[in-house]
Chain A
């Protein structure tokens, strides 16, 4: 069974640009969550999608957005990039969200903003 796949793995953008990251969940998983990891900050929750609907959202500005497609694949977009957006962006999938559900992570997308 293939794991969670994220593309691209590495990318460099300049301030003010926008970026789109892609995530393919484990087959059969309908919940997709996105996290940002920066040094010393752990994993910060961005948002979670289930059946194409955003169910939960973390404390990130509106520049961070996402969507989920009918095949459960998800994308996240960051507009007007800032230097502080440089981080590892992790996608995770599970059968469903919430109690009792283990989430499984992809390898992540390393974003560097210069």
Chain B
């Protein structure tokens, strides 16, 4: 059951521009959302998170937006850098429950 969906398998952006990665979820019980970044042959690394009581969280070049009514969250990277090229996974969890991941979006930032 795909409770967390990332409908874009890939995204290509020019260096310096904004990258927007999207994620949709179906379970209204989810109340904590995270983004992970994964390079080949490495485990995913935590990037940024947001609680359902907020609609925006910012950390440097990374901003996560949450739209609870639409069950949608997005990750904005501004400005995008070539080193941001990786697979990005969004994840969601509900209280006392396991964390569910999307299928991932491969971001390529071109110099």
Contact = CB atoms under 8 A, between A and B. Distances in A.
A6 B43 CA distance: 10
Contacts of A48: 98
Interface residues of B, number: 29
Interface of A: 4, 6, 33, 35, 40-45, 48, 56, 58-59, 90, 92, 97-108
A40 B51 CA distance: 27
Interface of B: 1, 6, 9, 31-32, 34, 36, 41-46, 49, 51, 89, 91, 93-104
A39 to B, nearest CB: 10
B interface: dominant SS: loop
B98 A99 contact: no
Contacts of A104: 46
A41 B36 CA distance: 15
